Amino acid sequence: MSEQMTEHPLLRRRDGHHARVTYEELFFDLVYVFAVTQLSAKLLHGLSLTGVIETLILWFAVWLGWQYTCWVTNWFDPETPRIRSLIFAVMLAGLGMAAAIPGAFGERALVFVLAYVAIQVGRTAYIVWELGVDHPLSANYRRMLVWLLIAAVFWFAGVFAEGWARIGLWAIAVGCEYISPMFGFALPGLGRSKTSDWTIEGGHLAERCQLFVIVALGETLLATGVTLSHAESWDVTVLSAVLATFFGTLAMWWLYFGTSSKEATDTITHSDDPGRIGAYFHYVHAILVAGIIATAVGNDLVMAHPHDPLKLAYALVLSAGPGIYLLGSATYKKVVYGVVPVSHIVGAVVLAAFIPLAYTVDLLTMGWLTTLVMMVVGLWEGRLRRRRQEAAPRHAAH
């Protein structure tokens, strides 16, 4: 970041070292543990096409609220009183937003939208005000604010609609916020931002995304533990279900943290255009964490009804959760390594092939099958990573 951009008293001081994640940011993430739990519960109790689409829209809202705040705390110092107060205000609104998730497409639509728009528009307007007119970051934040205001129109319009009309309006609102960064928040008269202007601290952004993955995986384990604690007896079936869900979650952890997270940090830190890589992280993690949330729902079904026959909806969620995760992880690793891992594509295809088994096996069997696929993909990737590490010193020697 240039000297001009470090002159503002609220900006982080960049000294060439990795910017640490502050306690304020970790505290802020706690609200999103609750939000992810709410989303999982909504999907679990609404396994229909409409329920899936509604949950997807709400998930993008949750993710966008977190991600835009993450970019703010990458640039601005959360330990300064004014930015700390901003984070806590966003936390309070986030708590209201998360609490309204179960009724967001019902009686609490207005509460959800008020809380969400307050997060997005309120936070961004405050930053625009703090930056003033002439700061190098001001133009970017002004464009961002206008796009968020455009999205707010559709959020509020959806409150006064019902059914598929609300879904359509809110989908447009999500699109405005999710897609506009791809085009530099381009607007007539205001120009467009370039990723080369987003002088982010790459290591910090990578770590923030990694911490959100931990939040989502932690919620998955939490759900397994809660279901186990409510079980009348811990018999062989229940313990088998626990092992299936635990090892499936462990495989997801390994595929992210064991095979790519350090390299991802290095990739964005040493990139000539960290803003561009950061934008890729912004898009990819929304898909990756959506897979974790869907997998958590599948785990709940396996734990609660292990011997129930599979219905198509159950088979879809049990296969789709890990499948979405693998596709998100594959895209993530394409950003990190420049190649799509074959193991992930093969795993996703095998998971899709399991769907026709819906009428021949029970939930526990399906749970183990999907877990085994994830474990095999994890072992496959681990082996490839060891080969890359072994090859690196040889290339360095030449």
pLDDT at 3: 41
Tokens found for residue 49 = 């096409």
155-181 burial by CB neighbour count: b if 16+ within 10 A, else e?
bbbbbeeeeeebbebbbbbbebbbebb
- Classify residue 254 by burial, with Cβ atoms within 10 Å: 0-12, 13-18, 19+: middle
Separation between Cα atoms, residue 79 and residue 397, nearest integer Å: 44
Q: State the pTM of this model.
A: 0.87
pLDDT at 393: 59
Tokens found for residue 50 = 């409409």
Tens place of pLDDT per residue across the chain (398 aa) = 444 444 677 887 766 556 678 899 999 999 998 999 999 999 988 888 899 999 999 999 999 999 999 989 988 899 999 999 999 999 999 999 999 999 999 999 999 999 999 999 999 999 999 988 888 888 889 999 999 999 999 999 999 999 999 999 999 999 999 998 888 888 888 888 776 666 677 778 888 888 889 989 988 888 888 888 888 888 899 999 999 999 999 999 999 887 766 777 777 767 777 767 777 777 888 999 999 999 999 999 999 888 888 888 888 999 999 999 999 999 888 888 888 889 999 999 999 999 888 778 899 999 999 999 999 999 998 887 777 666 665 554 55
Instruction: Write the CA distances from 290 to 39, 285, 294, 371, integer angstroms.
Output: 10, 8, 6, 17
